[in-house]
Structure 1
Amino acid sequence: MLASFRPPSVQRTCRDRRDAPTGPRPAPRGAVAARCGTTATVSLPLRAARGPRDNPGRGPGLAPTPSHMSAFRATRWWAAAGGLALAVVDTILMVMLGVTFQMNGRNVSALVAVSFGSSLALLGYLVGYAAEARRRDRHATALIQAQLEALNTGRARLVQSEKLAALGQLATAIAHEVRNPLAVIRSAAQGLGETVPVDDAAAARACDFIVAEIDRLASVVSSLLDFARPLHLEARAVSVRDLFDRAALLAAGELAAKGARLARDESPALPAVLADPDLLSQVLLGLLANAAEAVPPGGEVMLAARVRDGAVELVVEDSGPGIPAELRARVFEPFFTTRPRGIGLGLAVARQVVEAHGGRIEAGERPGGGARLTVRLPPARDSAIAA
């Protein structure tokens, strides 16, 4: 079987003409023909793949590039030049020491020097070739490993997306079946509460409890619908300061109820982000609400923004107990929660929204203790809107 780097095609020539194809047959990407009497052309990517920063979720660009190939080829020639230089130095030393070579009474020092130089140059070339082969083997191993990791990541994402799609359909069906009965029960409970005698405090408390629990269930249903509903972004260049102002205003009530202080730390000139302001404000509001719930009375919540590695980072920190290291990778999974009354969809929806914007969200630890949630978003192109 012969392999060459050409466009993806496989041409097959068989001695048995009964099953010979009438023309070229396209082959799937990465397919290799391995049959008796087969001449195959195998296509491998030679261009550098985009790295994780340009294309989140894919493996690093380790495919051989022209610069890689030039570096590989240069190794053998530098080694050959080193061997030749060594031969020149040795020849100069022999001349300085007066060493000569005689054969049949004739001086063959020049011939010996040329032979010696060519031998060392050839030896250097071979050593460089061997070193180059080792480097290429290491590079190929790294490339295969990166492609396997990217493949495994892609498979995991595919399985996760299939699960989420099925889960979303189930959530939508349940939400539609539950929402209408909840509205009827709530109206009935409110009407019943209005007819309760003034002196019957226990009955009034029971009606208020029913209404409050129905409101909580309605919130759960809304979360299910938000999780299952496809996202439709209306993205535009948005100032980070405007996003922070809106989120802080919406979260003011929850922060005040806990007596928490909201501090802000923004760079003086941040690039705008290409985002849907409504959806991204809801993400920030959810993160601020979680922080307000986590901090002790009188605690502090920090809302910060900065530019790092070409991305705009929106950070929410709190002075609460923080997120254990072993749980940080799971907090964005649907229905994962450590709260007794939570359903675990808030951060899952936040991740959906952030990833739909081409960004990512991470959980970490605040210096000095507490939780840190970081939203990384690509900046809007050709924008320099102040923070």
Structure 2
Amino acid sequence: MPLTGSIRSIEPALGSNETNPIQRHTEADLLRLLTDLRRARALLAKYKAQVHELRCELRAREQLSGQDSATQEAIQGITHDLANMIETIGTAAVMISGDTSQSTPLQQSMEAAIDQTDSLLEALRQASSSNSLLPLEAVDAGNIIEEVIQSAMLSVHAPGIRVNVQTEHLPKILCHAPSFNRCLHNLIWNAVQAMPTTGRLDITGWQKGNEIFIEVSDTGPGIPADMKTKVFSARFTTKRGHQGLGLYVVRSLVKRMGGQIAVSSQPGQGAVFSLIFPIAKVEPIRQGVKKHNLMEAK
């Protein structure tokens, strides 16, 4: 499984010092942009091939006895998220090539997606080699939420959805930053997919005692009562063409970080997913999972 490269190598090509995205592009600028896009697309093709190769290997492993199912599930979840990020980067590349006046903001979103893809690749390497504990640290949840919103390119993929974020002045939480990033990304896309044309996505954070609550809510059709106990199950999905791994990945990662996740919903009134993490102490470096007494989704 030759997952040794890093797509950060295309960052210098995608970077831009322009402050005004709407300006005249010289012939040299357009030629350089075209060259950069060709390199980016070649790199995307390479990673798509690696994801395909990994999935084929996983299918082969599943046919053998004695394999570590937890490791298989972790790798499957990572490849699920990685495929989504590759699609996001590819969309940005196509749009830049079609409208150079939007190149600067799209490049910024693409770079944010590249950062997240690099984190996923590192998680994939770790999951392929071992099932080690997640290192927990003090993390600024507000900053990660901002990064995820930018990398998701919601203005491109979901222009009819209004996004409202209220997470100011939150204490740092104790978690694993890359995994927390993945959780938010999956929850946000789950909400967006529940609102195919228009709607509102709310991300709200607040403190209660020694814990921080992060809620991701949508104005979609909601979750039927008989399905709420199944939404975190592997391979469960009501969406055609989807793998049913997104929410399963979120719940697994949250538990490994010592947090909790819950869902509430009424048919026709949207859904609310709540993440609960402890506030980080002054010396927050540790590994492992901490148990909490609050009720979590089963």
TM-score under structure 2 length normalisation: 0.50
Instruction: Answer with 1 or 2: which has the greater Rg.
Output: 1
**Bigger relative contact order, structure 1 or 2, given CA contacts below 8 A and separation 6+?**
2
